[in-house]
Each structure stands twice: as C-alpha cells, then as structure tokens.
C-alpha cells in the first residue's frame, strides 16, 4: 500500500487544524454535512436531465451513524461521489480553497482564529478524529475507492467494496483528554449533542439529515419502560431564504453567509427578498464587510448562486449581477427558472433578465437606504467597494450614471468628511455655480495645492479626488443637478471680481514681453504663462486648459501599453502680488538669460507642488546651485 504525501499547503492547514482549540472543533460536522449536501445537489440536478440516474428527490438523504462502542462517527450521503482521481485531487490538496492565501497576506497571528471562522472544509475532520476514512463511489463508476489518513503523515487510496453511489466518511473519534474537562470528544458520539449541532448549524440543509436515535417508551399495560430505535430527521429542511423574515435573526443570516460564502467576518448588510408578481423569486443578498483579497483583480468572479425551486443549478451566475455591484454575494431561488437552462440560454432568457433587473433595483435601494439611515456602515461599505461604483460610472460610456451617482461619496474640504454630491450641492452658498474639485495623491497633498487657495477663500467647498478614476468618472457625469464640475486647476475658474480682472489684465499688458520671454524659455512645455489672481501666498502654479487635467494625463500615461505620452495643456500662472514678480520684472530686458533660468526654476517648482515628476532633476539641481 503506497503512502502519499499531502501537498505542502495542506500539511500546514492540517497541522493548524489538529492543534486548534477545542471550542472550534464542533464545526467539523457542519462542514462534512455541507459537503454531503453539495454532492447530493450535484446528483439530484443531474437526475433531472439524465434518466440513467433514476432517483427521485425524496430518495436523497444524509445519514449520521454514531457508534459509541467503536468510537466512530459516520456521515453518509448518496450524492455524486468521487472517482479515484477526485479523491486524490480534492482530499490530497486544499491549495484552491484560498484560506491559506488569505492568511499569508494578512499575517493573521492567531491560527486558531482561522479555524473557527473559515469554511475549512473536509480537513476539519482531523480536529476530532485520529483517523479519517472516506469510501466513495462516483456516479457512473464501476469501482469504489477508500481514502484513508491519520493526519499529517499522508494518505492512502485503495479499491474497496461499496455497492451504492455516494460517499461515506468514517471518523475514528479521538480519545477523551482525561486531564481536560473541555476535551471530551465522546460528546461528538452522543446523539443529543449531534442533534443539537445539526439544529444549530445545518438546519437549512434541503435534504433530510437522519439518525437512528435511541428512545424509550412506556410499555403498554405496564409501568416498565422499553427502549426502541427511531430513525429521526433532524433538520427542518426549509432553506433559510424560504423562511419567514420574522422567524430569522441577524445571526441566522450572518452564520449562513459565513458558511456559504467562505468569509470569516459578518457581512455589513443583508437583505432578504420575497418577490411575487410577474416574476416570483426569493433572494438573499449580502454586502461583505471587506473586499476579498482578489476583488480588484481579474481573478475575482462575480455572481449569485442560482436555484430553480430549491435545486442548485448554478454556483455562480454572473448574469444576475451588473459589474458595478459585483461585490454582492448571495443567491436567487425562483420557480420561474427552467431547470435545464444552459449558461448560454440564461442571457437571453426573459425571466432571468427580469430577475436581474429586479435584483439590481433591490441592491440600489438597499444601498440608498443604508446611506440614508446607517451612514457609518455605508461609509465602511464605500471604503471597501466605492472604487467599483466609480468604475461603474466611468464604464460603458457613462450608461449607468443615473443609477450610481447618488451612491458616490467624496471627502471634501468640509471637515475632510465624506459627502454625497447632493449634500455638496445643498451646501453651496449663493453665488457659487459649479462643483469644485481638486485631484491629488492624498488629502494632504491636495490641501497644499496653491490652486485651492482662491476657491477656499471664496468660501466654496472642494471635493477631494484621491482615486485616479475620480476625474474620469466625473467627466462622464458632466453635470450634477445642472451644476458643472470644475477643477480648481482649470484655467477658467472665473472667481475674480471685475476689479481684480481689470487690474490683472492691465498688468498682463504691461508684462506682455516678459511673459512671452518666459514662455519661450520653457520651450513648449506650457501653452502660455499668465498672471493669476487666484494665488495668495504661492509664487506660481500650473493650471490646465481643455478637458484633460494633469492628473488624468498622469493616469493615462501610467497605463500599460500606453505608447505615446499624452500631455495636458498646461499654463504656468504667476502671482503678481508675490515679491518674485517684481524681481522678474527687474530682469526683463536687463538680464534675459537670468529671466529664462528663473522661469525654468519656477516651472519645476510648480511641478513639484503639483506632485508631478520633474523632467530632469539633475539639471534642476544644477540650476539651483548656479543661481545660489
Ligand atoms: P470545499 O467544500 O470548500 O470545496 P472541502 O475541503 O470541504 O472544500 O472539499 C473539497 C472537495 O472534495 C469538494 O469541493 C468536493 O469536490 C469533494 N468532496 C468533499 N466531500 C464530498 C462528498 N461527501 N461527496 C463528494 N465530493 C466531496
């Protein structure tokens, strides 16, 4: 008999599992029953389209057999079973399960924490068993196999006898720890303990979970009692989404979520939908409290589980969720979905389209309600998934902006707190006619931008755009409640009074020469050099003409495969109230060389303030020394 080794990752998890603290151990039963139920789901689904299965729904069941004398606990299902290869693949490795990956990325200090909270699956059996034996016969296979392991040493696979299709998992329950009251593994052989664990964790399983229970009754015509055995179905079999909302507590929803969707934290929000009318369906929709580690990557797969009248027909149905709500987890169960619908047909199915529209509306309404009534949680949600909403606005040429724009939050100069666009507009003072925003890497960066000074001085609030998608999304919105969006860096802010404007224009005419010399000194890097009345303390700043801002150009140029670099139309603005202005004027016509050098210095300074790279740091540094 050949002894095979577990893959490295599995070994680590097994180690953790075996040494996990006792209080978490009871979840092994939930995990094994959940696997059994999944296997039955698969075979039952198949029976609907494949006559060779020859089983009715009522034939399917999970049996639990507790043998106190032998100290074994058996979990038996008549589901799809596993082939030899599947035993090898599924029970020899857990590399796919993602839990360890999560662990290493988050450096969780406490191993036990994962065990208790993750769906750790099959391996949890080793928390209570010294040996695990899996006998399985796959549907359609003519041989059965037995997989056996005593833990980290590895496992064996051999042929075995098994008449019926399905899987039987036999646990040799660990001996009790005499020194520790808490480690009484015999508990897991007690019928009452098992029954209560099933009620607690597996009640919603949609196939019967049965166990022979010893009971006693009074003999007829006598005072004596006799023992008898009754095969009892221990779960109610009503899936949680079919239950009445007022029978369910938050905890029920949360436990179900963690179990089904492999998250170890409670979701931020759940909504339970019973929809009747043109389309009838039940749905459970959850908003996770944090983004999965691969959320903003290509690997992440969106989708809801799809059930047709209680039968799982698709683990992840993408068509039920628009991309901008891809963070939602949950399921939809409908009588109106045809059982043998194929993936391709789903997209064209009118019922499915109606359901997905309705699901989308529900999510939108739930989020709006949360924003209104539970701001704290909404902000948490937004921290995790707000980026996705912004991408949603930007994608498909702004097609979804009406759905999404009121769900956006931005930090703003108003106490640096989150604000919605509607709140911003409500706060706009008389005289302000656009929505101002400023872009930068961070709030601190933005607040130090000279361009914000004039806007703030007017008493106008500024939205802080710190995600690179922000400006792109806003360009798609174009307006919000008839108000234009305007970057504080735009060349045409129009904030000056008539008086200021006249004065600036006079000064500009007077310094026409000098500004021209300065522009030429910058050798095509700026479209023009102008005087500005927006600057208060800073000598210079950059502004942009046209639609493309410097931040946007920076983002576009950072994209892979961008090829040619894109330039924003920049304008160097000069503060005529700053002492440097007089200095420059003095140089004009007397020392044009120096004026040119000063121009370069000022331009680079403006770039630095803007958070943009300077083209030639060495030349810049040499220039500083030279002028010093
Ligand atoms: P998960 O259930 O999260 O995929 P597990 O470690 O619990 O992870 O199980 C690994 C795989 O082994 C399952 O995905 C399934 O393919 C297979 N498996 C486990 N138990 C059974 C069973 N009772 N019947 C059929 N296949 C099973």
DSSP result, 525-562 = SSSEEEE-SS-SS-SEEEEEESS--HHHHHHHHHSTT-
Side-chain-side CA neighbours of residue 224 (13 Å):
3
Residues 503 and 619 both lie in one domain: yes
Strands 225-233 and 209-218: antiparallel
Residues 472 and 507 both lie in one domain: no
Answer whether 92 contacts ligand 1 (Cβ < 6 A). no
Of 378, 398, 427, which marks where a domain is finished? 378
Q: Whose CA is nearest to atom 13 of ligand 1?
A: 90
Q: Which of 38, 88, 149 best tests ligand 1's pocket when mutated (most atoms within 8 Å of CB)? A: 38
| Short-list 107, 98, 122, 102, CA closest to 39 | 122
pLDDT confidence band for 343 (50 / 70 / 90):
low
Strands 311-317 and 166-173: unpaired
In a 10 Å sphere around its CB, with 0-12 CB exposed, 13-18 middle and 19+ buried, how is residue 484 labelled? Answer: exposed
What CATH number corresponds to the domain at position 332? 3.30.230.80
Strands 434-439 and 483-487: parallel
Q: Which atom of ligand 1 is nearest to the CA of 169?
A: 23
CB atoms closer than 10 angstroms to residue 493: 20
pLDDT value at 583 more than 90: yes
Q: Whose CA is nearest to atom 5 of ligand 1?
A: 121
Residues 303 and 430 both lie in one domain: no
pLDDT digits (tens, 9 = 90+) for 5-14: 777 666 776 7
Integer-rounded Cα Rg, in Å, for the chain is: 34
Query: CA-to-CA distance for 459 and 462, rounded, in angstroms?
Result: 10
Burial code (b: 16+ CB inside 10 Å, e: under 16) for 71-85 equals: bbbbbbbbbbbbbbe
pLDDT confidence band for 107 (50 / 70 / 90):
very low
**Sheet architecture: strand order including 410-412:** 418-419, 410-412, 462-465, 434-439, 483-487, 479-480
CA 556 to centroid of ligand 1, rounded, Å: 45
Total domain count, the chain: 4
CA 133 to centroid of ligand 1, rounded, Å: 14
Residues 578 and 458 both lie in one domain: no
pLDDT confidence band for 142 (50 / 70 / 90):
very high
Residues 224 and 87 both lie in one domain: yes
Residues 275 and 364 both lie in one domain: yes
Q: What is the mean pLDDT of the chain?
A: 88
Chain centre to alpha carbon of residue 31: 24
**124 or 383, higher pLDDT:** 383
CA 166 to centroid of ligand 1, rounded, Å: 12
Residue 400 lies in a domain: no
pLDDT confidence band for 569 (50 / 70 / 90):
confident
Answer whether 121 contacts ligand 1 (Cβ < 6 A). yes
pLDDT digits (tens, 9 = 90+) for 399-420: 999 999 999 999 999 988 999 9
Of 210, 233, 256, which marks where a domain is finished? 233
Helical (H) or strand (E) element with 93: none
Q: Tell me if residue 564 falls in helix, strand or coil.
A: coil
Residue 256 near residue 284 (C-beta atoms within 8 A): yes
Tell me the two tokens of residue 254: 């949360």
* Residues pairing with 273 in the sheet: 283
Strands 434-439 and 462-465: parallel
Query: CA-to-CA distance for 538 and 572, rounded, in angstroms?
Result: 13
| Short-list 377, 469, 468, CA closest to 418 | 377
Helical (H) or strand (E) element with 445: helix 443-447
Helical (H) or strand (E) element with 604: helix 592-610
Residues 229 and 244 both lie in one domain: no
**494 or 512, higher pLDDT:** 512
pLDDT digits (tens, 9 = 90+) for 517-551: 999 999 888 999 999 888 888 899 999 888 788 88
What CATH number corresponds to the domain at position 450? 3.40.50.11260
Residues 71 and 214 both lie in one domain: yes
Residues 134 and 252 both lie in one domain: no
Residues 372 and 418 both lie in one domain: no
Residue 172 near residue 129 (C-beta atoms within 8 A): yes
Angle made by CA atoms 296, 302, 304, in degrees to the nearest 5: 150
Residue 149 near residue 156 (C-beta atoms within 8 A): yes
Residue 398 lies in a domain: no
Can you give the length of the chain in residues? 628
Least confident of 450-454, 564-568, 569-573, 624-628: 564-568
Residue 66 near residue 190 (C-beta atoms within 8 A): yes
* Residues pairing with 212 in the sheet: 231
Residue 613 lies in a domain: yes
What CATH number corresponds to the domain at position 588? 1.20.120.790
CA 118 to centroid of ligand 1, rounded, Å: 15
Tell me the two tokens of residue 372: 């209104």
Residue 394 lies in a domain: no
| Short-list 441, 442, 434, 432, CA closest to 477 | 434
Answer whether 114 contacts ligand 1 (Cβ < 6 A). no
Of 435, 466, 487, which marks where a domain is finished? 487
Residue 404 lies in a domain: no
Query: E strands of 88-241, at which residues?
Result: 129-137, 144-149, 155-160, 166-173, 209-218, 225-233
Answer whether 90 contacts ligand 1 (Cβ < 6 A). yes
Residues 48 and 167 both lie in one domain: yes
Q: Which atom of ligand 1 is nearest to the CA of 75?
A: 23
Q: Which of 90, 94, 99, 209 best tests ligand 1's pocket when mutated (most atoms within 8 Å of CB)? A: 90
Domain ranges, residue 71: 8-233
Residue 125 near residue 132 (C-beta atoms within 8 A): yes
Residues 55 and 189 both lie in one domain: yes
Answer whether 35 contacts ligand 1 (Cβ < 6 A). yes
End-to-end CA distance of the chain: 84
Residue 444 lies in a domain: yes
Q: Which of 35, 85, 91, 165 best tests ligand 1's pocket when mutated (most atoms within 8 Å of CB)? A: 35
Least confident of 49-63, 344-358, 422-436: 344-358
| Short-list 411, 464, 417, 405, CA closest to 439 | 464
CA 36 to centroid of ligand 1, rounded, Å: 8
Answer whether 167 contacts ligand 1 (Cβ < 6 A). yes
pLDDT confidence band for 108 (50 / 70 / 90):
very low
Residue 401 lies in a domain: no
Q: Which residue has the tokens 């234009």?
A: 484
CB atoms closer than 10 angstroms to residue 351: 18
Residue 98 lies in a domain: yes
pLDDT of residue 234: 95
């Amino acid at each position: 008999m050949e002894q095979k080794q577990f893959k490295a990752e599995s070994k680590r998890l097994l180690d953790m599992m075996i040494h996990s603290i006792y209080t978490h151990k009871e979840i092994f039963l939930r995990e094994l029953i959940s696997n059994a139920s999944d296997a039955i789901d698969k075979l039952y689904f198949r029976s609907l389209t494949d006559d060779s299965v020859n089983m009715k729904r009522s034939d399917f069941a999970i049996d639990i057999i507790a043998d106190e004398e032998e100290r074994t606990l058996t979990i038996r299902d008549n589901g799809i079973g596993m082939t030899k290869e599947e035993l090898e693949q599924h029970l020899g490795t857990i590399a796919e399960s993602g839990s360890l990956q999560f662990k290493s990325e988050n450096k969780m200090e406490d191993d036990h924490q994962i065990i208790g909270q993750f769906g750790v699956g099959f391996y949890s059996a080793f928390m209570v068993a010294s040996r695990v034996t899996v006998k399985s016969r796959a549907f359609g296979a003519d041989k059965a196999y037995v997989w056996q392991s005593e833990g980290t040493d590895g496992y064996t696979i051999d042929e075995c006898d098994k008449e019926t299709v399905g899987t039987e998992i036999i646990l040799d329950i660990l001996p009790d720890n005499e020194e520790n009251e808490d480690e009484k593994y015999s508990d897991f052989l007690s019928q009452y303990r098992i029954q209560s664990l099933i009620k607690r964790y597996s009640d919603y399983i949609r196939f019967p979970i049965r166990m022979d229970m010893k009971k006693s009754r009074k003999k007829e015509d006598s005072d004596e009692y006799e023992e008898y055995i009754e095969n009892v179905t221990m779960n109610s079999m009503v899936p949680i989404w079919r239950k009445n909302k007022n029978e369910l507590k938050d905890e029920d929803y949360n436990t179900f979520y963690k179990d089904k969707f492999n998250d170890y934290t409670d979701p931020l929000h759940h909504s339970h939908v019973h929809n009747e009318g043109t389309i009838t369906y039940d749905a459970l929709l959850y908003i996770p409290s944090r983004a999965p580690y691969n959320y903003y990557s290509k690997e992440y797969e969106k989708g809801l589980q799809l059930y047709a009248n209680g039968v799982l027909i698709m683990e992840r149905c993408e068509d039920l969720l628009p991309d901008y709500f891809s963070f939602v987890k949950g399921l939809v169960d409908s009588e109106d979905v045809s059982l043998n619908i194929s993936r391709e047909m789903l997209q064209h199915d009118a019922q499915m389209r109606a359901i997905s529209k309705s699901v989308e509306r529900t999510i939108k309404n739930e989020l709006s309600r949360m924003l209104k009534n539970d701001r704290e949680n909404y902000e948490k949600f937004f921290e995790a998934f707000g980026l996705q909403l912004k991408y949603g606005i930007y994608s498909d040429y702004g097609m979804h902006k009406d759905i999404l724009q009121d769900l956006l939050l931005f930090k703003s100069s108003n106490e640096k707190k989150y604000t919605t666009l509607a709140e911003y507009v409500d706060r706009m003072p008389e005289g302000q006619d656009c929505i101002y925003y400023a872009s930068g890497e961070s709030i601190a960066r933005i607040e130090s931008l000279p361009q914000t000074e004039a806007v703030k001085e007017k008493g106008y609030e500024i939205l802080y755009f710190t995600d690179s998608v922000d400006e792109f999304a806003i360009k798609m919105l174009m307006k919000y409640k008839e108000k234009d969006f305007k970057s504080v860096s735009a060349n045409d802010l129009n904030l000056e009074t008539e008086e200021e404007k006249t004065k600036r224009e006079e000064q500009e005419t007077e310094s026409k020469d000098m500004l021209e010399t300065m522009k030429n000194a910058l050798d095509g890097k700026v479209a023009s050099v102008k005087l500005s009345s927006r600057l208060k303390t800073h000598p210079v700043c950059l502004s942009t003409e046209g639609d493309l801002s410097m931040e946007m150009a920076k983002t576009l140029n950072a994209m892979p495969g961008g090829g040619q670099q894109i330039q924003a139309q920049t304008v160097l603005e000069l503060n005529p109230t700053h002492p440097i202005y007089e200095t420059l004027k003095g140089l004009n016509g007397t020392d044009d060389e120096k004026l040119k050098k000063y121009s370069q210095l000022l331009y680079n300074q403006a770039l630095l303030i803007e958070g943009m790279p300077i083209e030639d740091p060495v030349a810049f540094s040499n220039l500083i020394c030279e002028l010093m």
